Amino acid sequence: MASLATISNALDCGVSDVQGLGLAHCKFNFNDMAGGATLFLNRGTELPADFSLATLRALQVAGKLKVASNPFSVEIQNADDQKETSSGGVTAVATKGLYGFMFKYVNGLLFDTALSSLNSQNAYDVVLIDSAGNALFTTSKSGKKTGFSAGYVNAMMIDFASGATTTKTGIEFQFTNRAQMDNGKTFINSDEIDFSLLELAGVNQLQITLVAPADGATTVIGKIVSKYDGTLTSTELTEASLTIGGPSVSAASVNSNGGLEITLGAVTAGQSISVQVTGIFEDTEGVLFKSNTAVVVVTA
């Protein structure tokens, strides 16, 4: 009979760090993600230690965080573990399957354009937010808190309305590091924070258009309105919110209808004038805006 010493020194591959399976702790269950949100962090971006609405918005303003909120439905697309069986009937796990997700939205047809801007490979880390505002992310062995590493992120083809179904846009992605979920999953219970993660909204896209001025003009006019409905604008946009390229600018204003007027030095034929919202603009209500870069050439 083997001694106790011999038994204790036996090699049990892969079970040296088995965690306790007791149930004396509180349970945490992630809820349905429909109605929640998905946070796309630029690869390697750490979640702030001071986890608050302000610090997360700061990441948005810095261009490091994109938020896709209020999915209509979520489909789990996990790949199964691949197993191999020997001629003797012994089964071993050959490849661990990876987590995959498909989110569908009824946020309007042009939401597909915004989702398509996320198309990438290995560019984002993803934090999942469920419908109750609970967050799921990962913590590395060194204590670094990030989203789960996403491989492909792909905007799907539009599901156009048909009969009793509505128009839906969608995005799908896969987590490429199974160990981040198996060993490093970390959650924030919505009850533990003094704000709701569901308050975190995406950046609103503004569309700037300009009317090409004629040679010698000292004024350029245009519009800054929502790309989605052609009316919504931020009444707080001012000259300081804009980056204007071209002749020296003496004044710029945006009215409540999104009308833009720029006063500048006399322009000459062939000159280019460009206008864009500088970076990401946050108004006093915490609503975020960005824009395209509009360019016109002075006519003769």
SS (H, E, C) the chain: CCCHHHHHCCCCCCCCCCCCCCCCCCCCCCCCCCCCEEEEEECCCCCCCCCCHHHHHHHHHCCCEEEEECCCEEEECCCCCEEEECCCCCEEEEECCCCEEEEEECCCCCHHHHHHCCCEECCEEEEEECCCCCEEEEECCCCCEECEEEEEEEECCCECCECCECCEEEEEEEECCHHHHHCCEEEECHHHCCCCHHHCCCCEEEEEEECCCECCCCEEEEEEEECCCCCCCCCCCCHHHEEEECCCEEEEEECCCCEEEEEECCCCCCCEEEEEECCCEECCCCCEEEECCEEEECEC
- Residue 26 is assigned to a structural domain of this protein: no
135 and 281 fall within a common domain? no
pLDDT at 78 over 60: yes
Q: How confident is the model at residue 44 (pLDDT cuts 50, 70, 90)?
A: very high
Q: How confident is the model at residue 246 (pLDDT cuts 50, 70, 90)?
A: confident
- Residue 12 is assigned to a structural domain of this protein: no
274 and 289 fall within a common domain? yes
68 and 142 fall within a common domain? yes
Mean predicted confidence (pLDDT) in 207-231: 93
- Residue 15 is assigned to a structural domain of this protein: no
Q: Which of 97-101, 106-110, 237-241 has the highest average model confidence (pLDDT)?
A: 97-101
48 and 193 fall within a common domain? yes
- Residue 74 is assigned to a structural domain of this protein: yes
55 and 184 fall within a common domain? yes
C-alpha 97/C-alpha 82 separation (Å) is: 7
189 and 41 fall within a common domain? yes
Tally of domains within the chain: 2
71 and 141 fall within a common domain? yes
252 and 106 fall within a common domain? no
- Residue 41 is assigned to a structural domain of this protein: yes
Domain that holds residue 282: 204-297
216 and 126 fall within a common domain? no
142 and 231 fall within a common domain? no
210 and 280 fall within a common domain? yes
- Residue 21 is assigned to a structural domain of this protein: no
**Pick from 13-22, 59-68, 253-262: least confident:** 13-22
Domain finish residue from 152, 179, 199: 199
Structural tokens at position 297: 């050439």
Mean predicted confidence (pLDDT) in 121-131: 98
288 and 163 fall within a common domain? no
Q: How confident is the model at residue 7 (pLDDT cuts 50, 70, 90)?
A: very low
Domain finish residue from 199, 214, 236: 199
* Apex 125 CA angle, 194 and 102, nearest 5: 95
pLDDT at 17 over 80: no
* Other residues' Cβ atoms within 10 Å of the Cβ of residue 172: 17
User: What order do you get walking across the sheet with 294-297 strand by strand?
Assistant: 242-245, 272-277, 294-297
